[in-house]
């Protein structure tokens, strides 16, 4: 689709010129850090594939059923309601209430970090998250733009610390978002000058209280106008788990149907049972090592555990490091 020159949201119009001005503003606010290895972090930031999570219970409906993924794509809340002839109501969408009030329900979201469990914690139990990796080459303004963080909730402590500037400043091009994140990493003491700590290291996730929440408050956000079609999805992180034979067979069959219908989308399985009831840590670990392997080798392994083993072997990663 053709990308409009401007987007109207609350409290502003988003234009390329505004995003450029905002980028210059954030450069000054975050500071021009002269730390020697910032260029290395810039390269990592540039190569991240944005992450979006789905509920497993919606996987078949979205890719094979009523939402007709093949023809319309992964839809924004606004587009999903439009197909049904309804309008999103903030009171009936508590998870998206802030986004609706800002006019951001016209977007599909993805994050400059691991697949965050925050987006799936209210799913129907048993929770079995699916992770999507979006392609980088679709990041054309204004079909895609970015923000330094999620602005739809006032519970975000990092946002509140910068709230004096107004929400008008929280709109960037995707390129500018990627460029600013290394400066934030080197200017925010919490992030320890470490890209992988910022990205969502599962070792720290399992050890530090509120680590995931604090990272979510700092994660860059990509917003995709209206929809993300299948051709714009690079890979899918697919959960596998132990269960009765019938359910296991259903998951295998769905996986095979997906492979046949969407052969261009790479598939990576991850073990949801790995940490027993801690589905969130299983997701984080799989997302982290899958992405880190991709950035390192420009390819995916078909199993997240294999990617983890190869990264650990190469870097000598232990249980007490975030490097």
| pLDDT (tens digit per residue) in 273-309 | 988 879 999 999 999 999 999 999 999 999 999 999 9
| pLDDT over 60 (residue 322) | no
CA-to-CA dists, residue 137 to 84, 108, 234, angstroms: 31, 16, 10
**Other CB atoms within 10 A of residue 58 CB:** 14
List residues bridging with 132 in a β-sheet. 52, 236
Report pLDDT digits (tens) over 193-239.
999 999 999 999 989 988 998 888 899 999 999 999 999 999 999 99
What's the start-to-end Cα distance of the chain, in Å? Answer: 40
Q: Closest Cα to residue 259, out of 289, 290, 238, 232?
A: 238
Q: Which two tokens stand for residue 205?
A: 């996730």
Radius of gyration for the alpha carbons in the chain, expressed in angstroms and rounded = 19
Say what the pLDDT of residue 320 is: 44
Q: What is the pTM assigned to this prediction?
A: 0.93
| pLDDT over 50 (residue 151) | yes
Say what the pLDDT of residue 70 is: 58
What value does the mean pLDDT of the chain take?
A: 89
List residues bridging with 187 in a β-sheet. none
| pLDDT over 70 (residue 94) | no
* % pLDDT > 70, the chain: 91
Least confident range of 9-13, 24-28, 127-131, 218-222: 9-13
The dihedral sign for the CA sequence 162, 165, 167, 172: negative
Least confident range of 13-17, 121-125, 138-142: 121-125
- The owner of tokens 């949201």 is 9
Q: Closest Cα to residue 170, out of 150, 190, 192?
A: 150
* % pLDDT > 90, the chain: 62
Cβ distance 19 to 176 under 8 Å?
A: yes
CA-to-CA dists, residue 252 to 23, 65, 210, 271, 276, angstroms: 46, 18, 35, 14, 21
Domain boundaries, the chain: 6-315
Say what the pLDDT of residue 176 is: 97
Say what the pLDDT of residue 155 is: 67
Backbone angles phi, psi at 9, to 5 degrees: -135, 175
Kindly write down the DSSP assignment for every residue of 121-178, as one continuous string: TTSPSSP-EEEEEE-STT--TTTEEEESS--S-TT-HHHHHTGGG-GGG--B-HHHHH
Q: Where does the pLDDT of residue 141 fall: very low under 50, low under 70, confident under 90, or very high at 90 and above?
A: very high
């Amino acid at each position: 689709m053709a990308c409009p020159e401007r987007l109207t949201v609350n409290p502003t119009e988003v234009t390329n010129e505004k995003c450029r001005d905002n980028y210059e503003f954030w450069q000054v606010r975050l500071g021009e850090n002269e730390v020697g290895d910032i260029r290395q972090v810039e390269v990592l930031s540039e190569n991240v594939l944005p992450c979006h999570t789905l509920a497993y219970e919606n996987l078949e409906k979205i890719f094979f059923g009523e939402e007709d993924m093949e023809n319309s794509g992964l839809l924004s809340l606004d587009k999903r309601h439009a197909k049904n002839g309804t309008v999103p109501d903030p009171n009936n969408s508590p998870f998206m209430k802030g986004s609706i009030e800002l006019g951001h329900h016209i977007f599909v979201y993805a994050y400059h970090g691991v697949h965050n469990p925050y987006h799936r914690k209210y799913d129907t139990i048993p929770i079995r998250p699916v992770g999507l990796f979006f392609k980088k080459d679709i990041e054309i303004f204004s079909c895609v733009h970015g923000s330094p963080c999620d602005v739809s909730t006032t519970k975000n402590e990092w946002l509140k610390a910068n709230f004096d500037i107004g929400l008008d400043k929280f709109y960037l091009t995707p390129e500018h978002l990627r460029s600013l994140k290394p400066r934030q990493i080197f200017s925010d003491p919490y992030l320890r000058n470490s890209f992988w700590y910022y990205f969502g290291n599962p070792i720290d996730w399992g050890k530090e209280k509120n680590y995931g929440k604090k990272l979510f408050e700092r994660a860059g956000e990509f917003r995709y106008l209206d929809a993300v079609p299948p051709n714009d999805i690079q890979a899918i992180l697919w959960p596998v788990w132990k269960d009765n034979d019938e359910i296991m067979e259903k998951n295998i069959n769905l996986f095979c149907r997906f492979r046949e219908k969407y052969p261009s989308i790479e598939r990576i399985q991850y073990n949801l049972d790995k940490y027993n009831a801690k589905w969130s840590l299983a997701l984080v670990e799989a997302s982290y090592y899958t992405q880190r392997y991709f950035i390192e080798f420009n390819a995916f392994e078909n199993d997240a555990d294999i990617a983890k083993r190869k990264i650990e072997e190469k870097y000598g990663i232990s249980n007490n490091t975030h490097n």
